[in-house]
């Protein structure tokens, strides 16, 4: 039989995970039991699902169960299920690699700092490999449902970078995981300890988790958990603690959820949903191919993980369960995409999730602030993606503002509208690379001097997002770096008359600057927004801004050229200098320098940095001569 024993190396990421887990998860050691029971439950779910089409798979043993057993003398702990089991190939693939997309990227993010890494690992979900936190050797005995007794598999590893597999006889269907406990983890070979852990972490598992009756050397087993799917129980009977543990089971997250919503819908369509808002973003939140969606059950039979059809992309962080009474048991992903019932459920669940967020924002603003920090930019995508729920999403925004000292996004649109100035018609905002850059932007000078609040936006999605929203409570949004400021009655008649006067007086100067700049700008005019800065560039209302240009450039697309207008502050000493009878060459030099400065303030870069620096130094040189 020995030629049938094969030795394999773990995938590099698995090796890294094992190393990290063993060192950084010491304080969460007991989670291994939750993970292994969770896998046993998944395996039973999968068998029950496969048996819908092939009932003979359940032959001889129709009741699906999980057993937990231990031997204190031998320091072993065994978790067994009679579920789907694994073939030899499956054992090699599933217990030697990590299939999740983005795994390699995830490992690059690890810092070596145990504190931080243990947090990250918690987001990643450690699964089967968590067995090695407490065991120095793990054996897996398994046989795939429907396969003959001769096709059993024994998988074993000491976490030393390798594992072995061997084909063996195995009478039992399903999988037994045998842990050889480390000395310092032998406390887990204890009936009382195990019972309390099972009750705590696995009470809601829908299959009975059995343990031997205490004190008797018999083969009498008794159930330790409730063995009832949590969501099927009435809300009033479920403790918060149970909701939290159930979340940790389905989300593989160490952290507690921020909020949840458990609902039973009756009538034309019948279904139960349990939605959770996590406290922390998963590592792959921004990977387009990351798994997302709800765990789907039909009449309590598990159908699939990650049913993404029930929630829109921008709510991809929501975790939970959906149990439908109406969908057919043989429903597939393709069918889900076409089903009109699914469409209706999706729209109801979307509202449910947004209401849950609104409730969290209202009742627990601090938790909501935490949510916003992790998921705010994702939720913002909804303003473009889901126009029908715009009115529900807008109040959920939290933004930084010139009227707050801290850069934390705290201001709601309702706050903003509530403190608008008498006569103010617009909600002003600016987009920059960072809140600091936004706050320091010259575009705000005039507004600041009038005491008008401006929202400061710096997320990557912001320009895209603002392209999709027009107004909030009847007040239009206005980007302060574009077009006319539309100050309305905030600008008195006298101001307007004075501005017209100034423009007229400076007509010649503006023309001269325009000639010097050539086709770099669409026009040169007297500024309405500057007080301290000599000039700024102003885009037309629908031109692509700096942020969208960067996004397009990063994806290899070229953005159409847009030509901004240059607004000059004629009261500024530099402009005054230009105004005097300067020689043509010197005039052009200074005009170009002013233009490049404005460009720098707008987009963070100039077309020709070398030339800009030379020009600046030439002028500085003249100054010092």
Is 15 an interacting residue with respect to ligand ADP (CB under 6 A)?
Answer: no
Nearer to ligand ADP, 67 or 317 (CB): 67
Is 520 an interacting residue with respect to ligand ADP (CB under 6 A)?
Answer: no
Q: How far is the CB of 90 from ligand ADP (least distance, A)?
A: 7
Is 31 an interacting residue with respect to ligand ADP (CB under 6 A)?
Answer: no
Q: How many whole angstroms separate alpha carbon 605 and alpha carbon 617? A: 18
The one segment of 124-132, 371-379, 507-515, 603-611 that binds ligand ADP by CB under 6 A? 124-132
Nearer to Mg ion, 41 or 506 (CB): 41
Site string for ligand ADP, 157-196 (x = CB under 6 A): ------------------x---------------------
Residue 81 binding: pick among ligand ADP, Mg ion, none (C-beta 5-8 Å cut-off by kind)? ligand ADP
Q: How far is the CB of 129 from ligand ADP (least distance, A)?
A: 6
DSSP class of 564: P
Is 82 an interacting residue with respect to ligand ADP (CB under 6 A)?
Answer: no
The one segment of 39-47, 57-65, 150-158, 485-493 that binds ligand ADP by CB under 6 A? 39-47
Nearer to ligand ADP, 31 or 357 (CB): 31
Residue 527 has phi, psi (to 5 degrees) of -80, 145
Phi-psi region of 245 (alpha: psi -120 to 50; beta: other; left: phi over 0): alpha
Is 45 an interacting residue with respect to ligand ADP (CB under 6 A)?
Answer: no
Binding residues among 329-358 for ligand ADP as defined by CB under 6 A: none
Residue 543 binding: pick among Mg ion, ligand ADP, none (C-beta 5-8 Å cut-off by kind)? none
Count of residues touching Mg ion (by CB under 5 A): 2
Nearer to Mg ion, 133 or 432 (CB): 133
Is 175 an interacting residue with respect to Mg ion (CB under 5 A)?
Answer: no
Contact 601, 536 (CB under 8 A): yes
Q: Which helix (H) or strand (E) holds 525?
A: strand 524-526
Q: How far is the CB of 80 from ligand ADP (least distance, A)?
A: 8
> Site for Mg ion (CB under 5 A): which residue of 18, 31, 39, 458?
39
For residue 486, CA distances in Å to 113, 282, 368, 480, 532 come to 52, 42, 34, 9, 21
Q: How many whole angstroms separate alpha carbon 127 and alpha carbon 105? A: 18
Is 18 an interacting residue with respect to ligand ADP (CB under 6 A)?
Answer: no
Q: How many whole angstroms separate alpha carbon 413 and alpha carbon 561? A: 33
Q: How many whole angstroms separate alpha carbon 496 and alpha carbon 396? A: 37
Binding residues among 90-119 for ligand ADP as defined by CB under 6 A: 94-95
DSSP class of 293: S
The one segment of 38-46, 385-393, 424-432, 520-528 that binds ligand ADP by CB under 6 A? 38-46
Residue closest to ligand ADP, measured at CB = 127
> Site for ligand ADP (CB under 6 A): which residue of 127, 257, 293, 442?
127
Is 81 an interacting residue with respect to ligand ADP (CB under 6 A)?
Answer: yes
Residue 161 binding: pick among ligand ADP, Mg ion, none (C-beta 5-8 Å cut-off by kind)? none
Distance of CA 186 to the CA centre of its chain: 38
Nearer to ligand ADP, 97 or 522 (CB): 97
Neighbours of 378 (CB within 10 A): 18
Is 39 an interacting residue with respect to ligand ADP (CB under 6 A)?
Answer: yes
Is 130 an interacting residue with respect to Mg ion (CB under 5 A)?
Answer: no
In SS3 terms, 321-375 reads as EEEECCCCCCCCHHHHHHCHHHHHHHHHHHHHHHHHHHHHHHHCHHHHHHHHHHH
Q: How many whole angstroms separate alpha carbon 108 and alpha carbon 102? A: 10
DSSP class of 146: T
Q: How far is the CB of 83 from Mg ion (least distance, A)?
A: 12
Residue 29 binding: pick among ligand ADP, Mg ion, none (C-beta 5-8 Å cut-off by kind)? none
Both tokens of 233, joined, read: 């129980």
Q: How many whole angstroms separate alpha carbon 506 and alpha carbon 352? A: 59
Q: What is the DSSP string of 242-287?
A: HHHHHHHHHH--SSPPSEEEEEEE-SSS-EEEEEEE-SS--TTTT-
Is 44 an interacting residue with respect to ligand ADP (CB under 6 A)?
Answer: no
Contact 189, 46 (CB under 8 A): no
Q: How far is the CB of 130 from Mg ion (least distance, A)?
A: 9
Q: How far is the CB of 202 from ligand ADP (least distance, A)?
A: 14
Residue 312 binding: pick among ligand ADP, Mg ion, none (C-beta 5-8 Å cut-off by kind)? none
> Site for ligand ADP (CB under 6 A): which residue of 14, 51, 66, 86?
86
Q: How far is the CB of 18 from ligand ADP (least distance, A)?
A: 12
Contact 183, 207 (CB under 8 A): no
Both tokens of 595, joined, read: 């233009």
Is 127 an interacting residue with respect to Mg ion (CB under 5 A)?
Answer: yes
Q: How many whole angstroms separate alpha carbon 501 and alpha carbon 450? A: 21
Contact 188, 96 (CB under 8 A): no
Both tokens of 3, joined, read: 């030629």
Is 225 an interacting residue with respect to Mg ion (CB under 5 A)?
Answer: no
- How many Cα atoms are found within 13 Å in the side-chain-facing hemisphere of 58? 16
Q: Which helix (H) or strand (E) holds 306?
A: strand 301-307
Count of residues touching ligand ADP (by CB under 6 A): 16
Nearer to Mg ion, 132 or 428 (CB): 132
Is 202 an interacting residue with respect to ligand ADP (CB under 6 A)?
Answer: no
Q: How many whole angstroms separate alpha carbon 192 and alpha carbon 490? A: 73
Q: How many whole angstroms separate alpha carbon 297 and alpha carbon 300? A: 5
* Interacting residues toward Mg ion by CB under 5 A: 39, 127
* Interacting residues toward ligand ADP by CB under 6 A: 35, 39-40, 42-43, 81, 83-86, 94-95, 125, 127-128, 175
């Amino acid at each position: 039989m020995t030629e049938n024993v094969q030795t394999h190396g773990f995938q590099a990421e698995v090796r890294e995970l094992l190393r990290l887990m063993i060192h950084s998860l010491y304080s969460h050691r007991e989670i291994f039991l939750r993970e292994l029971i969770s896998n046993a439950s998944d395996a039973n779910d999968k068998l029950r699902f496969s048996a819908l089409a092939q009932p003979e798979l359940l032959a001889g043993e129709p009741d699906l169960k999980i057993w937990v057993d231990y031997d204190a003398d031998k320091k072993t702990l065994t978790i067994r299920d009679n579920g789907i089991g694994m073939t030899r190939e499956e054992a090699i693939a599933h217990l030697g690699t990590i299939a999740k997309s983005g795994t390699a990227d995830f490992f690059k993010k690890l810092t070596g700092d145990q504190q931080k890494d243990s947090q990250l690992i918690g987001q990643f979900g450690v699964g089967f490999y968590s067995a090695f936190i407490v065991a120095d050797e793990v054996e897996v005995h398994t046989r795939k449902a429907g396969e003959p007794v001769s096709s059993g598999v024994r998988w074993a590893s000491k976490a030393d970078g390798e594992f072995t597999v061997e084909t063996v006889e195995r009478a039992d269907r399903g999988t037994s995981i045998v842990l050889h406990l480390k000395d310092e983890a032998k406390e887990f070979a204890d009936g009382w300890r195990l019972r309390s852990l099972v009750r705590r972490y696995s009470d809601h598992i829908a299959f009975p988790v059995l343990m031997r009756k205490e004190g008797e050397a018999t083969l009498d087993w008794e159930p330790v958990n409730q063995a009832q799917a949590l969501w099927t129980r009435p809300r009033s009977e479920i403790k918060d603690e149970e909701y939290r543990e159930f979340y940790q089971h389905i989300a593989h997250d160490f952290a507690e959820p921020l909020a949840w919503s458990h609902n039973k819908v009756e009538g034309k369509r019948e279904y139960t949903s349990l939605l959770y808002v996590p406290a922390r973003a998963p590592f792959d939140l921004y990977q387009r191919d990351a798994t997302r969606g709800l765990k789907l059950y039909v009449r309590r039979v598990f159908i699939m993980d990650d049913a993404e059809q029930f929630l829109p992309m921008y709510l991809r962080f929501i975790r939970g369960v959906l149990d439908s009474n109406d969908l057919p048991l043989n429903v597939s992903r393709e069918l889900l995409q076409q089903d009109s019932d699914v469409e209706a459920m999706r729209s109801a669940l979307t509202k449910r999730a947004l209401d849950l967020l609104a409730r969290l924002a209202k009742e627990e603003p601090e938790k909501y602030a935490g949510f916003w920090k992790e998921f705010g930019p994702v939720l913002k995508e909804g303003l473009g993606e889901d126009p029908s729920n715009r009115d529900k999403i807008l109040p959920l925004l939290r933004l930084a503002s010139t009227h707050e000292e801290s850069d934390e996004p705290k201001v709601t649109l309702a706050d903003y509208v509530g403190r608008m100035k008498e006569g103010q018609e617009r909600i002003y905002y600016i987009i920059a690379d960072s809140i600091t850059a936004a706050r320091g932007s010259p575009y705000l000078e005039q507004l600041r001097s009038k005491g008008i609040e401006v929202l400061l936006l710096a997320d990557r999605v912001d320009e895209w997002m603002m392209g999709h929203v027009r107004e909030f409570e009847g007040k239009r949004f206005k980007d302060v770096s574009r077009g006319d400021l539309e100050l309305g009655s905030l600008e008195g008649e006298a101001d307007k008359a004075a501005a017209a006067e100034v423009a007229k007086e400076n007509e010649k100067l503006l023309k001269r600057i325009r000639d010097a700049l050539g086709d770099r700008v669409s026009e040169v005019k007297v500024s309405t927004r500057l007080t301290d800065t000599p000039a700024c560039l102003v885009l037309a209302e629908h031109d692509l801004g700096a942020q969208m240009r960067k996004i397009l450039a990063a994806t290899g697309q070229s953005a159409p050229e847009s030509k901004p207008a240059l607004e000059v502050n004629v009261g500024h000493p530099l402009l005054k200098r230009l105004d005097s009878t300067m020689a043509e060459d010197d005039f052009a030099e200074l005009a170009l320098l002013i233009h490049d400065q404005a460009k720098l303030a707008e987009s963070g870069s100039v077309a020709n940095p070398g030339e800009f620096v030379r020009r600046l130094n030439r002028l500085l040189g003249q100054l010092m001569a």
